[in-house]
Amino acid sequence: IGVPLYFVKAYHVGNPAVVIPLMLFIPLAIFYVGVFATGKDLEHDTVAEWMFPRMENVEFWAVWEWSIGSPSKINFQAWLKTLPLLAVMLVVVFLDCVLKVLGTENKLPIKVDKNRELQIFGMSNLLTAFSGSSVGYMQ
């Protein structure tokens, strides 16, 4: 689905407001029609093997309870091994942000306050990181 969707978007095939949702939802509709047409439900053993295991809902503050609230549960050696990757990711995200701001400034007839945009982007990434999510990319 991803590769054809990329080319449809890159070559501006059709109206993106119609084509992209159709390309995302038609395969899902085919799957569900196929499952229910065979008389099975999502709990059937065969169908359950195709799906991810069911996950229980967890409150958003559980990230802090299991980490900051319980340091004995943190594997600090594993965390230290991720620091080089974190440094690379910070550079990639920063470069992505700078390039997006410059691209916006080149394509639109506006002057962008680059420092302010980078500060807002950094603050939003801090908020998402503190809530247990990954950093975001500007789109």
Which of the 8 DSSP states describes residue 71? G
Q: CA distances (Å), 84 to each of 79, 88, 114, 132, in order?
A: 10, 6, 27, 19
> What's the whole-model pTM score?
0.51
Scanning the chain, the segments in alpha helix (DSSP H) are: 2-10, 16-37, 45-50, 62-66, 76-107, 114-130
**How big is the chain by its Cα radius of gyration, in Å?**
22
Q: What would the pLDDT profile of 3-13 be if each residue is shown by its tens digit?
A: 988 888 888 88
Q: CA distances (Å), 28 to each of 2, 24, 31, 73, 124, in order?
A: 14, 7, 5, 38, 32
**Percent above pLDDT 70 for the chain:** 96
Distance, in Å, from the CA atom of 134 to the CA atom of 125, rounded to the nearest integer, reads 8
Asked if 16 contacts 9 with a C-beta cutoff of 8 angstroms, the reply is: yes
- How many residues are recorded in the chain? 139
The whole-angstrom distance between residue 4's C-alpha and the CA centroid of its chain comes to 19
Q: What would the pLDDT profile of 86-126 be if each residue is shown by its tens digit?
A: 888 888 888 888 888 888 888 888 888 889 988 988 888 88
